[in-house]
Structure 1
Amino acid sequence: MSTLDLPDPLTSRVLSQADAEAVYELAAAQEQADIGRVEVELADILSDWSRPSWDVATHTLGVFDGDRMVAYGEITGADRGDAAVHPDYRRRGIGTAVAGWMRQTALDLGGEGYGSPVPQGSAGDRLLDRLGYRVRWTSWVLDLPEGTEVAPRALPPGYAVRGATPDDYHAIHDVIEDAFLEWSVRERESYEDYHASVIGRPGFEPWNLRVVTDPSGEVVGAAVVLMFAGPPPEAFIERLAVRRDQRRQGLAQALLADAFAEGRSRGATRQCLSTDSRTGALSLYEKVGMVVGDVWLNRATGV
Structure 2
Amino acid sequence: MIDTPLSARVPAPAQLAAPQHPQVPAWRGATSDDIDAVHALFAAAGRVDHPTYTVPREEIADHFALPHIDPARDTILGFGGDGELLAASSAILHPSRDTAAKVILEGAVHPAHRRRGIGTAALAWTYDRALQHLASIDVPIPGEVAMYAEERTTDAAAIAERIGLSTERWFTTMVRDLAEPVLERAAPEGTRLVPYAPERAMDVLAARNDAFRDHWGSLPSVEAPWRAFVDGPYLRPDLSTLLLEGDRVVALCLASVNEEDWEALGAPNTYIDLIGVVRDRRARGYAPTVISRTLAAARDAGLRKAVLDVDTASPTGAHGLYERLGFAATDRSRVLTRHF
Give the AA of the match of 1:181. Answer: R
Give the AA of the match of 1:124. Answer: A
Q: Which residue number in structure 1 is paired with residue 138 of structure 2?
A: none
Q: Which residue number in structure 2 is paired with residue 168 of structure 1?
A: 200
| Residues 47, 202 of structure 1: 8 Å contact kept | no
Supply the distance in 1 between the matched residues of 2:322 and 2:187 (Cα, whole angstroms): 18
Could you tell me how far 1:114 is from its partner in structure 2? 1.7
2:142 pairs with 1:107: no
| Residues 195, 237 of structure 2: 8 Å contact kept | yes
RMSD, aligned α-carbons = 2.1
Tell me: CA distance 1:241–1:38, structure 2 relative to 1, closer, same or farther (3 Å): closer
| Residues 152, 253 of structure 1: 8 Å contact kept | no
Supply the distance in 1 between the matched residues of 2:306 and 2:217 (Cα, whole angstroms): 28
* Number of residue pairs the alignment of both structures matches: 301
Question: Which structure has the larger Rg over C-alpha atoms?
Answer: 2
2:140 pairs with 1:118: no
- Work out which of the residue numbers 249, 258, 264 in structure 2 matches 1:219: 249
Tell me: CA distance 1:252–1:187, structure 2 relative to 1, closer, same or farther (3 Å): closer
Q: Which residue number in structure 2 is paired with residue 270 of structure 1?
A: 305
Q: Which residue number in structure 2 is paired with residue 68 of structure 1?
A: 84
| Residues 149, 335 of structure 2: 8 Å contact kept | yes
- Work out which of the residue numbers 320, 327, 330 in structure 2 matches 1:290: 327
**What residue ranges of structure 1 are gaps of 5+ in the alignment?**
none
Supply the distance in 2 between the matched residues of 1:72 and 1:170 (Cα, whole angstroms): 33
| Residues 28, 38 of structure 1: 8 Å contact kept | no
TM-score (structure 1 length as normaliser): 0.90
Give the AA of the match of 1:91. Answer: R
Q: Which residue number in structure 1 is paired with residue 98 of structure 2?
A: none
Tell me: CA distance 1:248–1:131, structure 2 relative to 1, closer, same or farther (3 Å): same
| Residues 149, 257 of structure 1: 8 Å contact kept | no
TM-score (structure 2 length as normaliser): 0.81
Q: Which residue number in structure 2 is paired with residue 22 of structure 1?
A: 37
Give the AA of the match of 1:237. Answer: I
Could you tell me how far 1:49 is from its partner in structure 2? 4.1
Supply the distance in 2 between the matched residues of 1:101 and 1:250 (Cα, whole angstroms): 47
Supply the distance in 2 between the matched residues of 1:228 and 1:72 (Cα, whole angstroms): 23
Supply the distance in 2 between the matched residues of 1:149 and 1:274 (Cα, whole angstroms): 21
SS in 1 for 2:232: coil
Q: Which residue number in structure 1 is paired with residue 175 of structure 2?
A: 143
SS in 1 for 2:273: strand
Q: Which residue number in structure 2 is paired with residue 2 of structure 1?
A: 17
Q: Which residue number in structure 2 is paired with residue 210 of structure 1?
A: 241
Could you tell me how far 1:34 is from its partner in structure 2? 2.4
Give the AA of the match of 1:176. Answer: R
**What residue ranges of structure 2 are gaps of 5+ in the alignment?**
1-15, 95-101, 136-142
Question: 1:20-62 deviations in whole A, cap 9, x for unaligned?
Answer: 2222222222221123344322222223543222222222111
Could you tell me how far 1:137 is from its partner in structure 2? 0.9
| Residues 257, 270 of structure 2: 8 Å contact kept | yes
2:165 pairs with 1:133: yes
Tell me: CA distance 1:278–1:109, structure 2 relative to 1, closer, same or farther (3 Å): farther
Give the AA of the match of 1:108. Answer: Q
Question: 1:178-236 deviations in whole A, cap 9, x for unaligned?
Answer: 2222124464321222112x12323445435421112x232111122110212232200
